[in-house]
A = this chain, B = another copy of it.
C-alpha cells in the first residue's frame, strides 16, 4: 500500500537528490535506542518517535525536553550511518498537522535530509513496524539556502520627558517561520509593542524615560536582529533600564519572567514594581527566573540589562507553533487586548518610576 504523508522539511536541512531518497524506516524513541541499534540504522531512514507530553498547568509544555530530536536528530542519525531522518512533530495535539522548525547539523560529517512527520503518521509507522511490516519511505525535499540579505529591526520611540536617554525596550520579532501566518509567533508580540506605544500616546502619558519599541528581525533563523542591536547599541546599554519581549503567543497574560543581576533584586524600585503588578491580580505576576525572558533581548544580558519575558497561558501555543495553523483566527482579541494592557502598564511603570530596578529613593 502506498500513501502520501504530509511532512514539512526542517529548517536548515539539505535537499535530497533529485530522485529523492528511498529507504526503509527504523524507529527509535531516543538516543539510547538509536545507540542500541548499532549498525541497524545504516542505509536507513531513522524516525525519532518521541512524544511531547501534554501541556501541564504547572510544568508547562514539555517542548523543551522533546525539541532536541528536531534539533539534533539528523546529526545523531547520520553518525549511525542513516541516509535520512524523520522527526515526530514536537506537539501534543494534532489534526494530522506537521510542525517544523530549525535543525542543526553541528559537527555532523554527513548532512542528511531531515523532515517532520505528523503525530498520526509517526504512530502509524510505529504500529506497522511493531507488527512486523517493512516500511519504506520516499523522501523528496528541495530545501536550499538563498544566501544572506540585508534586513533591519524596526524601531520607534516615545521620548522620555526628563530622562530621555534612559530606555525601556518593548519588543516582539517581525519574522516568522515559513508556514502559516506567524500569528502567535510572533505577530502578537509586535502588536503588543506597537499598541502599547499608541495607547500611551493617545492617553497623553509621557513617562520620564524613553519607551522604545523594537521589532526584531531574524529571530527564527540566527537572532541577527537581537545580536546586532546589543552590539550596535553597546554604549547605550548601561542606560537600558529594562528590555521586555513577548514571544510566547498572544494568549491570556499571566505575568513576567524577570532576569536580572543579583545586585538588582532588592531595593525600593523592585518592591514597587512587584506591588504595582500585584494590583493586577495576574496568576503569576512577576517571577525572577534565569533564562526565561526572550531570545532577542538575551544578547543584552551580559551588559546587565534587566530582561522581562511576558508569560501567557501556554496550553495552546504548541498546537499551532511553526505550522500552517498559526493563523490570526487563533488569536482571541480579548486575550490580546489584556496582553497589550499589561505591556503598556509595565513599560510605563518602568519608564516613569523614580529610580531604576535595584535602586532606592
Number of contacting residues on A, CB 8 A? 20
Residue pair B6, A120 in contact (C-beta under 8 Å) = no
Q: Residue A87 at the B interface, CB < 8 A? A: no
Q: Which residues of B contact A93 (CB under 8 A)?
A: 95
Q: Which residues of B contact A324 (CB under 8 A)?
A: 6, 95-96, 120
Q: Which residues of B contact A6 (CB under 8 A)?
A: 324
Other contacts beyond A95-B319, A123-B329, A127-B328: 6, CB < 8 A:
A94-B325, A95-B323, A96-B325, A120-B327, A123-B328, A124-B328
Residue pair B320, A120 in contact (C-beta under 8 Å) = no
Contact with B along A316-354 (1 / 0, CB 8 A): 000110011101110000000000000000000000000
What is the bound-complex CA distance between A94 and B329, given in angstroms? 10
Q: What 7 A-B pairs have minimum CB-CB distances, sorted nearest first?
A: A95-B325, A95-B95, A96-B324, A95-B97, A96-B325, A120-B327, A123-B329
Min distance, Cβ A198 to any Cβ of chain B, angstroms: 20
Q: Residue A8 at the B interface, CB < 8 A? A: no
What is the bound-complex CA distance between A144 and B186, given in angstroms? 43
- Chain B residue at minimal CB-CB distance from A325: B95
Q: Residue A308 at the B interface, CB < 8 A? A: no
